[in-house]
Amino acid sequence: MPEDLENDVWEYNYTQVSDNSEQSTTITIGTATLQNSIRLSVFGTIIDDWTCVNDLPISNTEKVVVFKSDVSYSSVSRSTSRWLYLCMKFTKVTNDLYFFYLLSDIFTDSMPNERVFMSGQTNLSNDEETMCSTFCQYTDSPKIRTLRRQGTSDSLPNSPPLCDCGSSCSNSRAYSIGNSFGHNSRLEMLPIYRHIGLDLFG
């Protein structure tokens, strides 16, 4: 989990999967937890708390994080308990702004529909070697989502890239963030053709 995100309240902007409407809300991110955040109803069970079960660093600005729902659900036709998983690929823009993609296919049994992975296995493998192939598979491209620290105004660069779960986008583009990583830093996206080793997750 990117440390910058932990223990703070973030403005969460995204496009609703079911009707393509633009949404904005706030979520609380704890230490490896999402609390009262992405809220889904599945067969009468409310799921809105999630805990990080693994993360995979991709580059100095990119990380894939898998969250598991804190509660399980079951249906009339399937009595076994099932859990939902969020596969989030984060890219750091500044200390106060991240964008991410949910790298799963759309789960239509939830209200609202959302890009989550479902499993009834209690011992599902979540090691780094298999997390992308297990939790982070999608057919059609997901839409970008953003997290902006409350009270800040950093802007998203043009055409933020989408790369596969285990692949880095930093080989083709990098983020130049001026001289300071403080709240007043300004962002510019520059196309380049080599990786720049900025340790922004440190």
Kindly compute the dihedral angle of the four CA atoms of residues 27, 128, 113, 154, in this order, to the nearest 10 degrees.
40
Percent of the chain with pLDDT over 90: 62
- Does the pLDDT at position 176 exceed 60? no
In terms of Cα–Cα distance, which of 53, 91, 90 is closest to 69? 53
Residue 177 confidence (pLDDT) above 60: no
What's the order of all strands across the beta sheet hosting 45-47? 45-47, 40-42, 110-111
pLDDT at 197 over 90: no
Question: pTM for the whole thing?
Answer: 0.82
Bigger pLDDT: 195 vs 153: 153
Distance, CA of 5 to CA of 154 (rounded, Å): 15
Asked if residue 148 has pLDDT above 90, the reply is yes
How does pLDDT run across 29-41, given as a tens digit for each residue? Answer: 999 999 888 999 9
pLDDT for the residue 200: 40
- What would you measure as the largest C-alpha separation in the chain, in angstroms? 58
